[in-house]
Amino acid sequence: MITLLLGEGAYHFAPFLKPAPLWNYWYLLALPLCLGISIVYKSVRCEHMKRVPREAASLFAFIIVVMVACAAAMGFLVRFLER
């Protein structure tokens, strides 16, 4: 019955056996991860829940900016050392 639903021989998502085909867009998976981390961290740290969305958004932006800056710095370092 399950093979009829999934299709025989067709590609289907099976965690750890056949991963989702995201190898070309793996860097976009950092966005929901950073968003989740910032929301959970700020909902634990803030005294009032009204402030959580604004502070979580600012922390999310900060995390993304720092990650991009670190990636650029490491890319520059690799190019510099390859010369």
Residue 50 belongs to a domain: yes
Residue 7 belongs to a domain: no
Task: Write out pLDDT tens, residues 16-27.
Answer: 787 777 778 888
Per-residue model confidence (pLDDT) at position 15: 78
Residue 52 belongs to a domain: yes
The pTM assigned to this predicted structure is: 0.73
Residue 37 belongs to a domain: yes
Three-state DSSP at 14 gives strand
Residue 30 belongs to a domain: yes
Per-residue model confidence (pLDDT) at position 21: 76
Per-residue model confidence (pLDDT) at position 3: 52
Q: Which domain holds residue 36?
A: 21-82
- Burial state string for 3-33 with b = 16 or more CB within 10 A and e = fewer than 16: eeeeeeeeeeeeeeeeeeeeeeeeeeeeeee
Dihedral (Cα; 33, 72, 42, 29), 10-degree rounding: -10
Return averaged pLDDT per consecutive 10 residues of the chain, 83 residues in all.
54 73 84 96 95 97 97 97 92
Three-state DSSP at 18 gives strand
Per-residue model confidence (pLDDT) at position 6: 53
Residue 69 belongs to a domain: yes
